[in-house]
Every structure is written in structure tokens, then in C-alpha cells.
A and B are shown apart, each in its own frame.
Chain A
Amino acid sequence: MPDPVDTLVERSATELIIETSGLTKRFGARTALDGVDLRVPRGCAFGFLGPNGAGKTTMIRMLLGLTQATSGSMRLLGHPVPAERAVALSRVGAIVEEPRFHPYLTGRENLRVVAAVRGPEVRERIEPALARVGLADRADQKVKSYSLGMRQRLGVARCLLSDPLLLILDEPTNGLDPGGIQEFREMIRAMVEHEGRTVFISSHLLDEVEKTCDAAAIVDRGKVVTQGAMAELAGGGEVRHELIIGVDDVDRALSAIDTSELVRDAHRSDEGLRVVLAGGPESAAQLNAALVGAGVAVMRLEPVRQSLEARFLEITARLDSPTDPAEVRA
């Protein structure tokens, strides 16, 4: 079976925007990241998913040069870091942990401070960035009067000053209300789909990553345990097209599709039938025609959404379970 990440990379037909190899970070005796090989393709929203304390923020801090790696190598936008860190970061925008600002300065002044550090041409991007995040009319208020949602948006505006090819956002929806989360999600999708940026989101919120991202890596206890496109991740590296079919006569339906080449597996369920297709999702229509042709009334035909949560729990449960036979016996 092909490596899901390789498949994803081939599909994106571009180079990797983040690539790490054997990345390790130790704090004394504690290993925060252990030999991480991460590959993030360009032009997608990529989730870096893991429970609190899994090493997500440490990973981001190393990518951005905020702390040094103990061993391993990293490439950002194709540039080795930390050797070519300045070049790489010139087109990266990042929010690490919560967005922080000088509270006594206005939103616009805070952006001016960062624009001054980035370069003379960046100052022209302040107004468009403020407008892009919907803060143009509040930009002259002091940041200490901003809500958390406004600070998050100002953080994104600060990221946009670099006209970033890559945005790195660490737990971006923390503390946001449902409306704010929805707004944030739409903004990220627009950046990916309409502006061609890559967004790397670290989060412990499965649902958030599943709704926002095209691909993800699951990290736990300092190790990347799996990574790939979202559908592949949810299906355990295998893309399954499963249907729930509501029919008037389950037995007749089962006998009608029993020998069909369209079906890999079929069984009775509370909803009627559960069918795993042998081919892609387009074969659902053929299956429907076959059932109708056999005199079965089809009342419902619904694709089953593979849940990333189920996959995540499966992976973390596997890591929790003892593998040492002696440990099992104990």
C-alpha cells in the first residue's frame, strides 16, 4: 500500500512547505519530541493534532527558531533552518500560543512595530491586513480594550504583514465563542482556497481540525503516529466508501447485491444495510440502480463519514495499551 503522505504529496504536485527529519527536543531527561518526521505539502490546511502536552507547541517553536532542536533537521519553504532561517521566515506568519501585543498601543501601532522589523515595504500592507480581518474600524483603539476574538484577528493581521506562503497557528480557536470559531474557520479556508496560502494549525480539537483541514498529522507523546489526507487518516490509511442504505426488504436487498462486483462487504444494520463499496463513491448510483432493478425500494442512501475522532481514539488507545508481554501478564 502506498504511503498516504506520498500520495498526498503527489496529488499536490508541489514541494513540501515543511519537512522535518528525526527532529528531537529534550528538556533534561524529558523528551518532548522524539524523532519527528513531518511532511506538510504546499497549498493546504494542515492540522497538527494531539492531546495537550503532546509536543505540538514545542514543534512549532523549533520550526520558528524560538528554541533549538536537540537533534534532527528541518526545512521551511525549502530552506534549511536554522541555517537559512531569516529567508524562510520572511514569508512565514505565525501565532505561537496566544497572540500577544503591547496592550497600551493601538492595533495599528502594534502592526507598525512588526512592520518596522520586517522591512520598509511591509508598512503598505498594514491597512489591507486590518481590512482583511475586519479590524479597520477598530484599529485605533488600544489593544487592551480588544476581546480575545479581536486579538486573534489582529494576530492574523500581523501574520499577513509578511504576505505569508505559510501561516503557523497554534491553537487558534482557543477561547473563541462558536461564532468566532466559525468565522475563523472560514477565514482559514479562504486563505487556502482563494489566496493559495498554506495554513499549519496545531490543535487538540479533533472536530476543529476535521472541519478545517485537508490533511493532518497526529502527534502523541512527542511522536508523529500517523499523517496524511483527512479521509485517509480517518480510514486508517485506507479510503473506505461506506453507505447506509434504507430499503423496504433487507433480505431481498442482501441477496440482490450478494454477488455484485460493486460491493466489497454488506451487512444488516439498524438503519437497514451497511455496504462498503468496492470502487469509488460514483458506484453508489450503480448500486442504487441494481437494487431498484431487483425490485427493492430504496428509501435512503447515505455515505458514512469516516470519523477522525474514532481513528484518533483508536491510535491513542493503542499507544496506551501495554505491548510488552510481561506487562500484559502483569
Chain B
Amino acid sequence: MSTTIAAQMAGADFLKLRKKRGTLIWALVLAWAPVVIFYAVTAIQHASNPGKYGPAGGTASFHDGVRLLGGLLFGPLVAILIGVEAGTNDASAGVFRDLVVTGRSRLALFASRLPAALALCWAIIISAYVLVLVGTFVFASNLATPDSALVLNGLGFLLLSTGVMCAIAVGFASLTTSKPAAIIALIAWQLIASPLIVSIESLGSPRKFVLSQALVHFSPVGLGDDGRHAATMSGATALLVIVLWLVVFLGLGAWRTRTMDA
């Protein structure tokens, strides 16, 4: 398959995603609303009582903004919504069989979902990150602001954490082919099961295999519980764990797409 066709297919998948208004609106709300609310509230607090509340911007609020987006909460939720939509879109509309009968390989049909989902997910996350930066610098007053290295590291971490979660969501949704089931399972894992497993210190080193722990390793800001329960691991181990998650879920999604009755 030529790169032209691959690009066209990814473009078509992107079209399907961006035109799915419900998903798009929810993703934008989940990405923008927490950031806007956070800076609005802290700015109002500072304006009403400057002695008690510091300025809404500065490095500390930048950390909070990155936590909100990439701190394994709203950013991953956006990634899950978009990834699941990309993974189930054709099957749930009943269009998958019409794509299969074109003769194009099923693996190519599966593969085109990933760049489309990543493109939309990252576009939304970057727009929310811009809001964080605006809040950080506009409301900084006399506080120190993050340097360009920290800004780039923050962006890199957000793209990594949401990209990985989005890819896993594409694979898992392609495996289940059920949008509600995939969303519920992934959110439950991300918000409930994952933190619970990590908090059980008696589990020891197997906690390294929890995806969020591997992702936290690459964060430029402190996340969650300040590492009280975090499983420590090297960069190589963290990378290996992330790759393992990607291989398993993308592999399962590709297998299911290749073998299921269309």
C-alpha cells in the first residue's frame, strides 16, 4: 500500500472523527473546562483576597495545569473518548463490511485509525495546553514562570501520556467493537483500578506494570500523591512497560479486526 493511500485513509478516518460532533464536544469540554475553571477560580480568589491567595499564574500553577491535563485524569479521558470512537466507529455504523469489500487489507483499515485518532487527540490537548500557558503567563504577576525547557517537557509529557492512552483505546475498542463497553472499562481502569493497585504497596514491583506508573516516570512535574505510593523504576523499564502495553493492545485490536466476521 502506497503512502498516498495510507495518508488518504488516515485523512478519511480523521474526517469521521472530527465530524462526530458529540464526541468532539465532550472531548473539548473535558480538555478546556477544567483549565478554564481552574484559572478563573484562582484568579478570582487572588483578586478578591490577594493577601490570602497568590496570583493564579506562575510555575506552581503551570504544574497544576499539567497535572490537570496529563496527570492521568482529563487528558487521558479525552484520549479514551477519541481512541474508542476511532476503534468502534466503522463497526458500530455497520460500514466496516463496506470497507472490507473494497479489497483493502483489514490491517490497513485498522492501522489508519491510529494516526487519525492521535491527530485529533493531540490537536485538542495542545489547544488545552495553550490555555494552560496563557493562564500561567498572563496571571503570573510577580511570580516566576516556567522556562522554555519546562514548557517543552510539559508538552512532550502530555503528548506521550495522551498518545499512549489514545493508542491503547483504539486497540481495546477495536477488540471489543463496543463503544460503551470500551469506554466504561478503560475509564474504570484509569480512574479506579490503576490507582488502587498502585496504592497497595504490598504488591511490590509488579506495580511497575501499571501503565500510569510508567508514564509518571516521564512527567516533568510531580503527579498525584507526590510519589508516596509510586513504584520506582528506571527510564528504560518505564519505556519497556509502555511499549508492552502498546504492543499488547494494538496487537489484540489488529487481530480482532483481521479475523472478525464483517
Listed in ascending order, the chain A residues whose CB lies under 8 Å from chain B are: 61, 64-67, 85-90, 92, 94, 96, 99-105, 109, 112-114, 116-120, 158, 162
Establish whether residues B103 and A158, one from each chain, have CB atoms under 8 Å apart when the complex forms.
Answer: no
B21 within 8 A of A: yes
For B7, the closest partner residue in chain A by CB is A116
Contact B98 A100 (CB under 8 A): yes
**Chain B interface residues (CB < 8 Å from chain A):** 4-5, 8-9, 11-12, 15-16, 19-21, 89, 93-95, 97-105, 109, 261-262
Known contacts A116-B8, A117-B109, A120-B8; A90/B15 CB under 8 A: no
The B contact surface, by secondary structure, is helix
Residues of B with C-beta under 8 A to A61: 261-262
CA distance A87 to B102 in the complex (A): 10
Name 24 A/B residue pairs within 8 A (Cβ), A-sorted: A65-B100, A65-B101, A65-B103, A66-B262, A67-B261, A86-B103, A88-B103, A96-B98, A100-B93, A100-B94, A101-B93, A102-B19, A105-B19, A109-B15, A113-B16, A114-B99, A116-B12, A117-B8, A117-B9, A117-B102, A118-B102, A118-B104, A120-B8, A162-B102
Pairs A-B, 7 closest by C-beta atoms: A89-B103, A100-B94, A116-B12, A116-B8, A86-B103, A66-B262, A113-B12
- Tell me whether A117 and B4 are in contact in the complex, defined as CB-CB below 8 angstroms, given that A66-B262, A102-B16, A105-B16 are known contacts: no
A-B contact count (CB 8 A): 86
Complex Cα gap A118–B103 (Å): 8
Give Cα A120 to B129, complex, Å.
36
Provide the residues of chain B in CB contact with A105, threshold 8 Å.
Answer: 15-16, 19
Closest Cβ–Cβ distance, residue B163 to chain A (whole Å): 23
Cα–Cα, bound, A12→B100 (Å): 31
B104 lies within 8 A of A86 (CB): yes
Residues of A within 8 Å of B94, CB to CB, are: 100
Residue of B nearest to A123 (CB): B8
Q: Smallest distance from the beta carbon of A30 to chain B beta carbons, Å?
A: 15
B100 and A66 within 8 A (CB): yes
Given the known A-B contacts A89-B103, A104-B20, are A117 and B12 also in contact in the complex, defined by CB atoms under 8 Å?
yes
Please, which residues of chain B bring their CB within 8 A of the CB of A103? 93
A112: chain B residues within 8 A (beta carbon): 12, 15
Which A residues are in CB contact (< 8 Å) with B101?
64-66, 89, 92, 94, 96
